[in-house]
Amino acid sequence: MAKTAVIGGGPMGLACAYQLAIDGHQVTLYEADDRLGGMSAHFDFNGLSIERYYHFICKEDHDLFALLKELNLEAKLKWHETRMGYFYAGQLYEWGNPFALLKFPKLSLLSKIRYGAHMFLSTKRKNWQALEGIDAVSWLKKAEGEKTYNVLWKKLFAQKFYNYTPNLSAPWIWARIRRVGRSRKSIFKEQMGYLEGGSETLLNALRNKLEEKGVIIHLNSAVEKVAHKEGKVQGLMLNGEFNPYDKIYSTVPLPFVTKIIDNLPEEHQKKYASINNIGCVCLIFKLKKAVTENFWLNVNDDTMEIPGIIEYSNLNKQDNHIAYIPFYMPQTHPKFNRDAQDFIDESKAYLFKINPALTEDDIIDVNVSRYGFAQPICPPNFMDDLPPIKSAIEGLYIADTSYYYPEDRSITESVGLGRKIAQL
């Protein structure tokens, strides 16, 4: 029986190990962190176990639903009608349904019709290939008009993608619009999902299932090198020791690949190294009062350097109010490595501006998480020169969230791809 290793204990690595174990392989999984889950991992927020980064589930997350069914977790999946808001130039507006759009005072009726029609048609579109090669900004401007782009998209893009904004793939942005846009009960009502107990419910069940199937899991185990000889995988190096394997599946973010795998074909190495990522500094607040009634609040205000606020307790009710404030930016941005306290001070000012009834006294707790590879940046024709998952080295498979382009990073896509690569 082939001895198999999976590198990375995020949803993709776990799903890959799960599928390999089902298919009868002898599997060992290595995770660098002290816990499983990668970007979807939980932390102890002083008594509340919750995701470090906000997570919600959409109605089209079919690979996730299939896994939940296999793990007998279907009953843990809950749906809730959620509201969306828009904080635009110092004013809070309702958002996310046709009435809200009609009431929004900053666009003409014609612009609103164009925007609404484009959003609606995007949720119906199936063929994204026709958009390949087009950049997202041109696509949005053409469909919705320059003015609408400037009012509704420009700032959000700038706060999420910074200097990468002019070179984003239209299919990639379309896939995000479609996923969220299709998570609705009706055209008037958005509906989002969550797991009772959060992502940890899935992670714990997967871990139990893997252990039951004999998979060995090593935490705090950052693989140092993948060893290969004469074009074939030999094993991997951990703590300076060699561990032999016949097959290795790497699910770590692509920027790490060139650090742990030497002597890949030069063109592949160059491609892995050339993929840009956006980092995220994500704050989570425990509050006595709600910020707003919205789950998702888009923010477009010249005094605020965030794309939005995600008020998780408006999706999954908690004892206290829970709000995430993400600051996206390239890791190279001078702000990325600022002190946590600077982010906390800045975020508090935003919260007080959005809801002037909130005071310092309403803040129970706050935590700051930071991750450099929160999102690969996908330019037009992104997949064209991505090296194949089945690498040039026999027995070595390499994938990360980039490989489900044009879909955005998500648990469901990582689960789906993790299982697929196990069966290549």
Ligand X SMILES: Cc1cc2nc3c(=O)[nH]c(=O)nc-3n(C[C@H](O)[C@H](O)[C@H](O)COP(=O)(O)OP(=O)(O)OC[C@H]3O[C@@H](n4cnc5c(N)ncnc54)[C@H](O)[C@@H]3O)c2cc1C
Which residues lie near ligand X (CB under 6 A)?
Answer: 7-13, 30-33, 38-40, 53-56, 222-223, 251-253, 256, 260, 280, 282, 326, 371, 374, 400-401, 409-412, 414
CB of 63 to ligand X, least distance (A): 10
CB of 262 to ligand X, least distance (A): 14
* Nearer to ligand X among residue 61 and residue 362 (C-beta): 61
Using CA atoms, how far apart are residues 295 and 28, in angstroms rounded to an integer?
Answer: 39
Evaluate the omega torsion of the peptide bond into residue 406 and state whether it is cis, within 30 degrees of 0. Answer: yes
* Nearer to ligand X among residue 171 and residue 198 (C-beta): 198
* Nearer to ligand X among residue 34 and residue 319 (C-beta): 34
CB of 77 to ligand X, least distance (A): 13
Report helix angle 62-70 to 411-422, nearest 10: 70
CB of 343 to ligand X, least distance (A): 14
Exposure letters 9-30 (e unless 16+ CB within 10 A, then b): bbbbbbbbbbbbbeeebbbbbb
* Nearer to ligand X among residue 101 and residue 252 (C-beta): 252
CB of 31 to ligand X, least distance (A): 5
Using CA atoms, how far apart are residues 241 and 247, in angstroms rounded to an integer?
Answer: 18
CB of 232 to ligand X, least distance (A): 21
Q: Tokens in use for 288?
A: 């006595």
What strand order describes the sheet that includes 26-30? 216-218, 26-30, 3-7, 247-250, 396-398
* Nearer to ligand X among residue 139 and residue 249 (C-beta): 249
* Nearer to ligand X among residue 137 and residue 252 (C-beta): 252
Are the C-beta atoms of 28 and 48 separated by less than 8 Å? no
Using CA atoms, how far apart are residues 190 and 184, in angstroms rounded to an integer?
Answer: 4
CB of 79 to ligand X, least distance (A): 14
Are the C-beta atoms of 237 and 44 separated by less than 8 Å? no
* Nearer to ligand X among residue 111 and residue 410 (C-beta): 410
CB of 147 to ligand X, least distance (A): 30
* Nearer to ligand X among residue 56 and residue 104 (C-beta): 56
* Nearer to ligand X among residue 280 and residue 309 (C-beta): 280
Using CA atoms, how far apart are residues 266 and 295, in angstroms rounded to an integer?
Answer: 45
Q: How far is CA 38 from the centre of its chain?
A: 11
Q: Which residues contact 384 (CB under 8 A, 6 or more apart)?
A: none
Q: Tokens in use for 399?
A: 């994938």
Using CA atoms, how far apart are residues 111 and 146, in angstroms rounded to an integer?
Answer: 9
Exposure letters 270-309 (e unless 16+ CB within 10 A, then b): ebbeebbbbbbbbbbbbbeebbbebbbbbbbbeebbbbbb
CB of 387 to ligand X, least distance (A): 17
Q: Are strands 277-287 and 247-250 parallel, antiparallel or unpaired?
A: unpaired
CB of 192 to ligand X, least distance (A): 9
Using CA atoms, how far apart are residues 64 and 56, in angstroms rounded to an integer?
Answer: 12
* Nearer to ligand X among residue 7 and residue 131 (C-beta): 7
Using CA atoms, how far apart are residues 225 and 234, in angstroms rounded to an integer?
Answer: 11
Return the bridge partners of 193, or none: 57, 79
- What is the length of the chain? 424
* Nearer to ligand X among residue 203 and residue 290 (C-beta): 203
CB of 52 to ligand X, least distance (A): 8
